[in-house]
Amino acid sequence: MSASRNLRTGLIAGLVACFMVGMGFAAVPLYRIFCQQTGFGGTARIEEGAKAPGDTGKIVTVRFDANVSDKLNWTFEPEQKTERVAIGARQLAFFDATNLSDKPVTGSAAFNISPDESAQYFVKVQCFCFTKQTLQPGETQRMPVVFYVDPAFLKDKDNAGVSEITLSYTFYPVDQAPTQG
């Protein structure tokens, strides 16, 4: 009887260990999903294809910030540094990236919203940051981002004094596996 009890205890311990290892691998994607849904840590909400709720008549300034890793030979900048946007209305902004190298280069953009309290109300509907971007030598690409500021922003007392929200992107190189030919 004690042997079967030991076997059962061993199996349970093994299953718990496997579960913990699996959760370790799942932690990063689960944390990313949590941040995107809640705006935690300055991460914008992502709702691909969402409809903006409509203009509330209130305005907030959105500042656009663009950065490039020193390991990526690109220029990257917003077409407009700031824009006054109607809260609740769908907005469109453009960024321009140019590959300054003599070979194709793939990059991926990471983004952040500040102040952190406003991030949960900044909703990205369509963004170049959702996919890897490959630019040919000397190529310039115009990259759109469609967004809106959720009207709930106006009701949150933590945002009472906020008149400017910053959307910041940084492009990083993406290692590409060699193609088989």
> Domain spanning 40-173 has what CATH number?
2.60.370.10
Strand partners, 92: 146
Q: Domain spans of the chain?
A: 40-173
Q: What is the mean pLDDT of the chain?
A: 84
Strand partners, 166: 63, 114
Phi then psi for residue 128, to 5 deg, are -65, -20
pLDDT, residue 24, reads 67
- In Å, how far from its chain's centre is CA 54? 23
DSSP of 67-110, one letter per residue? EE-TTS-EEEEES-SEEEEETTS-EEEEEEEEE-SSS-EEEEEE
Q: CA separation (Å) from 178 to 19, 175, 181?
A: 34, 9, 9
- pTM for the full predicted model: 0.72
The structure tokens listed for 28 are: 């990063």
Q: pLDDT tens, 19-58? A: 777 666 555 455 445 544 544 444 566 666 678 888 889 9
Amino acid at 14: G
